[in-house]
Amino acid sequence: MKRLCLLTCCLFLWFTTQAIAASGIPAANVTGLPKLDLTPYIYVLHDHESATAHTIFKVSDNEWVKFRDANKRTISEHNFWFQVKLETQLDTVKRAIEINNPLLDKITIYHLIDGVLVDSKSLGDTLPFSSRDILHNDFIYQVDLKKGEQHSLLFHIETLGSAAVPMTLWSNKALFQSDQDKLMITGVLIGMLFGVGIFSLFFALATGSFSYGYFSGYVFAMTLLVSSLSGYGYQFLWPNSPYLQGLIMPLIIPISMTFALMLTEKILDLKRNNAYLVRSCRLGATTTLVLSLLAFIVRYDWLLLVQINMAILLVFMLIMITFFQVIKGHKLARLYALGWGAILFGAGTSALSYLGVISFNIEPQFPIMIGLGVEVIMISSILAIRYNNERKAKSRIQQKALMQAERIRQVKEEALKAETLSNEQLGSMVQERTLELEIAYRELNEAHHKLKEQSTIDTLTGVKNRSTFDKRLTAEAKLSRRQQTPLAVMMLDIDKFKLINDTYGHLAGDEALKFIANAIASQLKRPTDLVSRYGGEEFAIILPATDMVGALKVAENIRQFISQNHIKWKDQSIYLTVSIGVTADVVHDKEQAIKLLEQADKALYYAKDSGRDQVQAYALHLEAQESES
């Protein structure tokens, strides 16, 4: 009896399995609900990528398998077929199928009713936008259902990039309402970005601010990126250019990162604070520019995959740079970190939603759009604060000048009143007022001279800054060319300066820089000689009318003086050494001034590579290399 029951159960399970298998692809039952997610009803056909439509029509339902969307979201070449079946118990119902991925290259739709082909349609962003029956930023296909009919919709997807096919069945009214909601949110963000970009551009043109110029470029690039991701760019900006639609993403992603890197350099003032971070930003900007040019020659999916990974890497790099500046006490860096944190959080949330890891009742692109909006607000605030601080500094200088001018005016008024006094007092009073006037004028001139002098001085060491050095080098090169006299240039670098900072602290490093600057200045005897802080622990020296022999002698005096002395720091003696590169020549053309600087720099690096604490001449270095070869 038990064996009979077991046999009966097995037969029941076998017949049930066969019945389910025979049922094939389940049809989505379309009711009166305004919205239906079709993703659970999508079935895909494997190993038939190159098959024709008529071949696909003959494929048994048992060969179709349930669609796994995550496999198609990767950025690569995709070519596959999938199918959705619809039926209704209502008399008649009109519905619209929406495919919410406006970046699909080509979609071919075959509509069968009870196995008979009734319609076929080609969509995709490789076709002009005007070729769509319904001019919508997403892909829309209308379906009219009747009771007793079974509708089979076969889709052939051919695309480079992500082949995600989030499909929704809408009533016309619900689709219209959903479009209005999305259009409002996207329109507000794009409108805000465009407004901020226009304002920043005009402000940059009016004030000559590179920060606002880079910011406007970044905002415009991100506006185009958001427009492209949402499909509105193709709908409204370039509807008749499928070629541009295929180029816009690999063009705009690296360009936006280029502007972001240059903007970071300006906002965080990296040129003054850290030369290595400046080089990192500029190297990243150069790399992203090259990646944008590759859009014309490299295949879309390959390049896009590289660019997205590069963008993620650069965003993390920008956040790390910003945190370094926060640690150093840069006030605006906190807001900047908050802005980049917002865009990173938004992008991560959108990516997780897009991959199906998390689920929201909003479009996947909305989190990154919100993060972008927060970032733009933060950067706008930073630029406004910077501009306000600069304006206040200028206002203080102007106020001081106005006070001096007011004092002069008062002295003049008193001098005029003195003319009405008696002739006996006139001489002495005029003399007194004139003296006061001269003193006031002298104070005004001294204040003006101090302001002008401060703009040429390195505030830490008290020697000239790099800007003054560049101007002086150009002037001395012209004089050397005109008078045919030699011009000597030296580059000096403190040996193992980083070790001093790491061992004794940055304040000890600052004292070391001051000591080196004073030591160099003490060995320069002529008023025409110039020493400047070139950057970091490097100093540059100009010796007009000095040949190589004289320049080497001066350099050796500087080196010996520094090595024979030391600085005191918290009861400790810190001994310093320097490496010096020297070059000298008569200038014959405009470009030779830059060549002299490059030669001195090469000689400096040769001195460091040769063991440090020494002087190397560029010409002798070359002769040594030639003799060895």
Residue 578: pLDDT over 90: yes
What CATH class has 466-628? alpha beta
Q: Residue 107 above 80 pLDDT? A: yes
Distance CA 311, CA 113 (A): 47
The H or E element spanning position 408 is helix 366-418
With 0-12 / 13-18 / 19 or more C-beta atoms within 10 angstroms meaning exposed / middle / buried, residue 287 is middle
Q: Where are the alpha helices (DSSP H) in 420-547?
A: 423-454, 466-483, 497-504, 506-523
Neighbours of 124 (CB within 10 A): 20
Which tokens belong to 620? Answer: 């002798």
SS3 category, 111: strand
How far is 319 from 308, CA to CA, in rounded Å? Answer: 17
Contact 218, 225 (CB under 8 A): no
Residue linked to tokens 């118990």:
89
pLDDT digits (tens, 9 = 90+) for 407-465: 888 888 877 777 666 656 656 665 766 676 676 667 666 656 666 666 788 888 888 99
The fold of 176-386 is Rhopdopsin 7-helix transmembrane proteins (1.20.1070)
Contact by Cβ (8 Å): 263, 343 = no
pLDDT exceeds 90 at position 121: yes
Strand order in 615-617's β-sheet?
530-535, 538-544, 486-494, 578-586, 615-617
C-alpha distance from residue 609 to each of 581, 614, 616 (Å): 12, 10, 11
Q: Is 163 helix (H, G, I), strand (E, B) or coil?
A: coil
Mention every residue, 6+ apart, whose C-beta is less than 8 A from residue 283. Answer: none
Q: What is the pLDDT of residue 349?
A: 74
Place of tokens 């009711």: 31
What is 21-170's CATH number? 2.60.40.2380
Q: Output the pLDDT for position 388.
A: 82
In contact, 225 and 273? CB cutoff 8 Å: no
What pLDDT, on the 0 to 100 scale, is given for residue 204?
86
pLDDT band for position 183 (cuts 50, 70, 90): confident
Handedness of CA 74, 78, 81, 84 (dihedral sign): positive
The better pLDDT of the pair 362, 559 is held by 559
Return contacts of 325-333, CB within 8 angstroms, 24+ apart: 325/268, 325/270, 325/273, 328/273, 330/268, 330/269, 330/273, 332/267, 332/268, 332/382, 332/385, 332/386, 333/268
CA neighbours within 13 Å on the CB side: how many for 523? 22
Q: What is the pLDDT of residue 342?
A: 80
Q: Which residue shows structure tokens 């958001």?
A: 226
32-41, 55-64, 98-107, 352-361: least confidently modelled range? 352-361
Q: How far apart are CA 105 and CA 527, in angstroms?
A: 71
The tokens of 23 are what?
């049922």
Q: Are 300 and 160 in contact (CB under 8 A)?
A: yes
Q: Any idea of the CA torsion for 314, 315, 319, 321, to the nearest 10 degrees?
A: 20
pLDDT at 20 over 60: no
Of 34-38, 223-227, 282-286, minimum mean pLDDT range:
223-227
Q: Which residues contact 375 (CB under 8 A, 6 or more apart)?
A: 339, 340, 342, 343
Check whether 165 has a pLDDT greater than 50: yes
- Give the H/E segment covering residue 578: strand 578-586
Percent of the chain with pLDDT over 90: 39
